[in-house]
């Protein structure tokens, strides 16, 4: 039995944010972090279930793909748009999270809210230039995901609800993308993961995003590697060089899953494999088929 003194299940966003404004009140979405990992229950006495807020959508709004806070990993992994965008980088990240049972309840927004450096979907969302739509009693604000994470389990969110995540479609539609996860068992958390997106015009890379997970306190944007790729052609040799630069940007720690040294070395492997997919040099495994 968890030490929770009240369970709320509001039907409007304004009720939900009024509850969340109180100290000791936390959102419960899938509950797969909150109810399992004691660090999320520290200081939490009451929970606010968001399932009746009508946020389980994935929809278009002008040039944005908007993913509501209720959308589960299963929903995201199976969504045709998520599967089509930049070689399905986000659908892949979602499909490789945990087990089918967990993916049936765990939400994409919960994965972002938890702000773990090893999480699988933040790298994919980052290479798609995603933004976080936060709602609080003061109203709504939009934070680029790039500025959202501030440390392990820490973010720019204050007593707010992540209402949705949104991805700009005008730029990302033309990108190639890739995701690669290094992990021990079918449902384990990443030892290292990598997401990449590339825009190639007339054989030249004009935009490159490369993000590595579980190698720094927050998902790591490998900026030097990105810069090295610009203006180059997307050849195996060039991608390999960029992956090695990315490896040297990592600041991993040792824990029960892997040593810092192992993480550092495999980060180059994950980065290269994600980049190859993004450049169309490697076949993309349609992992989401297994659901």
Partner 1 sequence: MPEIEIALRVNGRAAQWRVQPGETLLEALHAHHLKGTKLICGTGDCCGCGVILDGRSINSCCTLAAQADGAELLTIEGLSQDGSLHPIQEAFAEEGAAQCGYCTPGFIMRAYAFLQEHPHPTEADVRAALGGNICRCTGYVKPVAAVLRAAEMMSS
Name the residues that contact partner 1, by CB under 8 A: 1-7, 9, 28, 31-32, 35-36, 46-47, 49, 51, 74, 98-102, 104-105, 185-187, 290-291
111 binds ligand FAD (CB under 6 A): yes
Among 25, 86, 95, 110, binds ligand FAD (CB under 6 A): 110
Write the DSSP assignment of 144-179 as a string of letters. Answer: EGGGTEEETTEES--S-EEEEEEEEHHHHTT-EEEE
- Which residue shows structure tokens 């076949």? 283
Residue 260 near residue 170, CB atoms below 8 Å? no
- CA pair distance 61, 51, nearest whole angstrom: 22
189 binds ligand FAD (CB under 6 A): yes
Among 65, 86, 91, 97, binds ligand FAD (CB under 6 A): 97
31 binds ligand FAD (CB under 6 A): yes
4 binds, among ligand FAD, partner 1, none (CB under 5 to 8 A by kind): partner 1
Residue 94 near residue 73, CB atoms below 8 Å? yes
Give helix 236-249 / helix 260-279 axis angle, nearest 10°. Answer: 150
- CA pair distance 62, 81, nearest whole angstrom: 15
Give 124 or 198: the residue with its C-beta nearer to ligand FAD.
Answer: 124
Give 2 or 142: the residue with its C-beta nearer to partner 1.
Answer: 2
Give 124 or 271: the residue with its C-beta nearer to ligand FAD.
Answer: 124
The 3-state DSSP class for residue 290 equals helix
x/- letters, 62..81, toward ligand FAD (CB under 6 A): -------x------------
Return the bridge partners of 199, or none.
207
List residues binding ligand FAD (CB under 6 A): 26-34, 36, 40, 50, 69, 97-98, 102, 106-107, 109-111, 113-114, 119-120, 161-162, 187, 189
């Amino acid at each position: 039995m968890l030490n929770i003194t009240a369970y709320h299940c509001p039907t409007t966003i304004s009720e939900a944010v009024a509850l969340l404004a109180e100290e000791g009140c936390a959102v419960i979405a899938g509950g797969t972090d909150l109810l399992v990992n004691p660090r999320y229950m520290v200081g939490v006495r009451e929970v606010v279930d968001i399932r009746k807020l009508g946020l389980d959508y994935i929809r278009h709004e002008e040039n944005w793909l908007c993913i509501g806070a209720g959308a589960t990993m299963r929903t995201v992994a199976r969504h045709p748009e998520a599967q089509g965008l930049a070689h399905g980088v986000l659908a892949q990240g979602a499909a490789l999270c945990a087990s089918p049972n967990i993916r049936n309840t765990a939400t994409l927004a919960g994965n972002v809210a938890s702000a773990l450096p090893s999480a699988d979907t933040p790298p994919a969302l980052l290479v798609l230039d995603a933004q976080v739509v936060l709602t609080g009693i003061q109203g709504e604000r939009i934070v680029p995901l790039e500025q959202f994470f501030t440390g392990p389990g820490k973010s720019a969110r204050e007593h707010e609800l992540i209402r949705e995540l949104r991805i700009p479609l005008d730029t990302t539609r033309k990108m190639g993308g890739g995701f690669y996860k290094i992990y021990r068992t079918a449902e384990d958390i990443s030892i290292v993961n990598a997401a990449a997106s590339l825009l190639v015009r007339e054989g030249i890379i004009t935009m490159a995003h490369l993000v590595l997970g579980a190698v720094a306190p927050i998902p790591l944007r490998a900026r030097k590697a990105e810069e090295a790729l610009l203006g180059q052609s997307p050849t195996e040799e060039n991608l390999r060089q960029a992956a090695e630069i990315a490896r040297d940007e990592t600041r991993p720690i040792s824990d029960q899953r892997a040593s810092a040294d192992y993480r550092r070395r495999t980060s180059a492997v994950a980065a290269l494999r994600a980049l190859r997919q993004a450049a169309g040099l490697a076949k993309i495994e349609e992992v989401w088929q297994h659901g």
